[in-house]
Amino acid sequence: MHRILSFLSSLDWVSLSALFVAILSFVIARKTMKDAEDSWKQQKWFDLYVKADEGYNTLDRYCAIYKGVAGIGTIQQEEDWNSLMFLIRQVHAMAMVFPKHPAIDKLVKATTTFNNPSNAYEMVRLRLFLEAVMDLRDMAVLHPSVLEIRKPTQFALPTKNPLP
């Protein structure tokens, strides 16, 4: 018993405490980095989903407005077509930097083979585009913890109740 007490008294407790704090800091920093990386990855999928959804909605709107019109008949239709093509190019620019994935393949298949307005009305294309957007949505879904309502901490500023 005396030996154990002698050994413990010879230890430098300040150094051991500093080592413990350093190890704990490392573990916390590593978890924080992992969480930040996961959040970043999810955000990239979300950004692509939003842009692809915008592209789908623009194509759907174009088809609804100009259904049955062969070629480009008005200046407004030409502007709408050019806007649609520009948006699809933006979607492609975002999608092409992602690793190979079935959702990306479906998106590309739905959007790369038409270059004139008459091809835009193909229902197969619209359906495939929607399926690709839904696949991207599945990849972009927020982790449930993001949506939790958190209780205020002791450091939170008090808020006034706007209701009487």
- Give 105-135 pLDDT, tens digit per residue: 999 988 887 777 878 888 888 899 999 999 9
The owner of tokens 């109740």 is 161
Tens of pLDDT, residues 74-99: 899 999 999 999 999 999 999 999 88
pLDDT of residue 39: 81
HSE (CB half, 13 Å, CA atoms) of 106? 18
Count of residues making up the chain? 164
- The Cα 41–Cα 55 span in angstroms is 21
* Token code pair at residue 5: 């007490």
